[in-house]
Amino acid sequence: MGSVKFIQGNEACAEGALYAGCRFFGGYPITPSSEIAEILARRLPGVGGRFVQMEDEIASIAATIGASLAGTKAMTATSGPGFSLMQENIGFACLTEIPIVIVNVMRGGPSTGMPTAPGQGDVMQARWGTHGDHPAISLAPMSVREFFEETVRAFNLSERFRTPVTVLTEEIVGHTRERLALPEPGDLELIERVKPTVPPADYRPYDTGFGDVPPMANFGDGYRFHVTGLVHAEDGFPTNEPSVIAAKERRIHDKLGKARDEIDRVDEYLLDDAEVAMVAICSTARAARRAAREAREQGIKAGVFRPVTLWPFPDRQVAALAERVNKIVVAEMNLGQIVHEVRRAVSGKVEVESLTQADGEPIAPGTLCEAFREAAR
C-alpha cells in the first residue's frame, strides 16, 4: 500500500490520471471540476507531462485529442456547459478512434444551471450528446477512492478500445473529502494502446485484420497516415462506398458490444434476498445504501443496484435483477433519465418507479427510505 491521503474526489481523479500514465491535460476552468486542472497544472511537469489551459472547452478537447494522436495519454475535465461545448469533438474521437478521457463533474440544471450544486442531468448527454450513431463508455464513481480507480479504468478502456471514455460523476463526489490509500505502482493493471508492428508502407490505421480494435501508430514515429472525421475506409481516407461505410459504423459499436465482460461493472448492495431494489449512481447510491439499511431495520428487504459502468447500460444485469425482485425504484438527481434505460431493460417484468429530484440538493437517505417503504407496501 502506498501513502494514505485525506483528499477530495477531484484530487483523487488527478492522482488517478497520473497513476494511469496521463501526460497531457488540456482544459478550461469550470466549477465544480477546476481542482482537477489546478492539481495537474502543478503535477504534470514533474513527471514529464504537459498542462495547457486553452481558450475554451472546444479547444481543450481538440488539444487533448491532438496530444493523444501524438502518442500521449491525454485527458480533459469539465462540467455541464463545457461538456456541451465538447460534444462535436467527442464524436470526432469516436469516429477517428483516438483514445482520450473526459471527466464531467456534473452540476445541477440546464444552461449555466447551478455551478456549485450537484446534479445528474448529463446522463443522457454522456450517451447521446454528439451527433450521429456512435459508441459511448461512461463510468460513474461514487466515492473518492472510486473516482481514483474509475479514472484509471477510464484510461485503460480508452487505450484498450481506441475510444473516448467519460468519467461521469457529480459535485458531491468531486468535493467530498475521504481517506484514500494510494495504490503503489503495479497494484493496478495499466493498459497501453496496441502499436503497429507492420512496416510503415503496409500500415493502415483502421486495419481490421488485427481485430475490432486496429493497432494505432503515433504521429511522428515514421508511420505517415491520414486521420479524418469523414467516414473512412481501413486506409483512413474518406469513402462513399456503402459497404465500407456500414462496416466501419458497425465495427466501432461492435468493438464495445463484443467486449462487455471487459467494460461492464455493476455494484450490488444487500441484494441477495432483496424484494425491493433501488437503482442509483454516484452520491445518490450512497444515500440509497443508508436508506436500504434503515429500511431493513424496519423489516423491508431492500437493496441497491448501482451501474458503475453507466454506458453501455448494463441491460443484462438489470434484466436479471428484475427476475429477483418485486419492484425497482430508480432514484436520480434529474427529472428522469436512467429510469428510461431501466424500464427498457426490465421490459415490463416488474414495476419500475421513478424518484426524481432536481433542486440542487442531494437526495436525502430519509427520502429514499420512504421510497423503499412505499414500494414495499
Which positions lie near other proteins, rule CB under 8 A? 23-24, 26, 42-43, 45-48, 50, 52, 54-56, 58-60, 62-72, 74, 88-89, 92, 218-230, 237-238
Estimate to the nearest angstrom the gap between the alpha carbon of 66 and the chain centroid.
20
For residue 4, what are the CA distances in angstroms to 9, 148, 190?
Answer: 14, 13, 21
Query: Which DSSP string corresponds to 247-301?
Result: HHHHHHHHHHHTTHHHH--EEEES-TT-SEEEE--HHHHHHHHHHHHHHHHTT--
Q: Dmax over Cα atoms in the chain, in whole Å?
A: 70
Instruction: State the nearest-atom distance from the C-beta of 221 to other proteins, in Å.
Output: 8
Minimum CB distance to other proteins smaller for 116 or for 228: 228
All three cell numbers of 232: 473512412
Instruction: State the nearest-atom distance from the C-beta of 231 to other proteins, in Å.
Output: 12
Minimum CB distance to other proteins smaller for 69 or for 280: 69
**306, 269 in Cβ contact below 8 A?**
yes
Instruction: State the nearest-atom distance from the C-beta of 196 to other proteins, in Å.
Output: 14
Cα separation, 157 vs 164, in Å, equals 9
Instruction: State the nearest-atom distance from the C-beta of 233 to other proteins, in Å.
Output: 11
Minimum CB distance to other proteins smaller for 210 or for 225: 225
Instruction: State the nearest-atom distance from the C-beta of 268 to other proteins, in Å.
Output: 40
Based on C-alpha coordinates, what's the Rg of the chain?
21
Beta bridge partners of 142: none
Minimum CB distance to other proteins smaller for 162 or for 301: 162
Minimum CB distance to other proteins smaller for 238 or for 257: 238
Reported as half-sphere exposure (CB side, CA atoms, 13 A), residue 278 has a value of 36
Minimum CB distance to other proteins smaller for 93 or for 165: 93
All three cell numbers of 55: 481558450
> DSSP 3-state assignment of 5?
strand
Where b means 16+ CB within 10 Å and e means fewer, 96-105 reads: bbbbbbbbbb
Cα separation, 283 vs 175, in Å, equals 11
Query: Which DSSP string corresponds to 319-340?
Result: HHHHHH-SEEEEEESSSSSHHH
Instruction: State the nearest-atom distance from the C-beta of 116 to other proteins, in Å.
Output: 25
Minimum CB distance to other proteins smaller for 7 or for 288: 7
Minimum CB distance to other proteins smaller for 212 or for 225: 225
Instruction: State the nearest-atom distance from the C-beta of 62 to other proteins, in Å.
Output: 4
Instruction: State the nearest-atom distance from the C-beta of 24 to other proteins, in Å.
Output: 6
